[in-house]
Amino acid sequence: MIELSTAEAIVVASLREVFAQTDLSPPEVITGDTVLVGKDAVIDSLGVVSLIVEVEQRLETEHSISVVLANDKAMSQRNSPFRTVAVLTEHLLNTAREAKAQ
């Protein structure tokens, strides 16, 4: 099972990869509060798609854990599980735990 620090590292590295692959300007620092969705988001909607896929692929290739982050549960939540780096990290941890438990 991955630790919180590992999950956060995956999210941050994936976000940096999204900036590297697009014309989007990265913020000076990426923290848990960095907004990913909605007002003040540092990436656009396609950037969110790229980020989610990048996180899934890194989890798969680096830790052999296969998850779908945009699952039915996630997409039906009132508050997006992708809205900030910290929230996405938590969602990643929970989804990975559920995948391991199955």
Partner 1 sequence: MSEPQKPLPIKVGADAPPMPRVMLITGSRKGIGRFLVEHYLAQGYLVEGCSRGESDLSHANYHHHSVDVADERGVRTMIADINRRHRRIDIVLNNAAIASMNHVLLTPAASANRMFEVNVTGTMLVCREAAKVMMRKRWGRIVNFTTIVAPIALAGEAIYAASKSAVVTLTRILAFELGQWGITCNSFGATPIMTDMIRGVPQDKIDAVVNNLAIKRLGTPTDCSNVCDFFIHEQSDNITGQVIYLGGIT
Q: Judged by CB under 8 A, which of 46, 75, 77, 98 binds partner 1?
A: 46
Q: Is 44 in the site for partner 1 (CB under 8 A)?
A: no
User: How near is the Cβ of 37 to partner 1 at its closest, in Å?
Assistant: 18
Lookup: tokens for 32: 């848990």
From residue 53 to residue 82, what is the string marking binding to partner 1 with x (rule CB under 8 A)? Answer: xx-xx--xx--x-x-x--------------
Q: Residue 48: CB partners within 8 Å, gap ≥ 6?
A: 36, 37, 41, 82
What residue ranges bind partner 1 (CB under 8 A)?
Answer: 46, 50, 53-54, 56-57, 60-61, 64, 66, 68
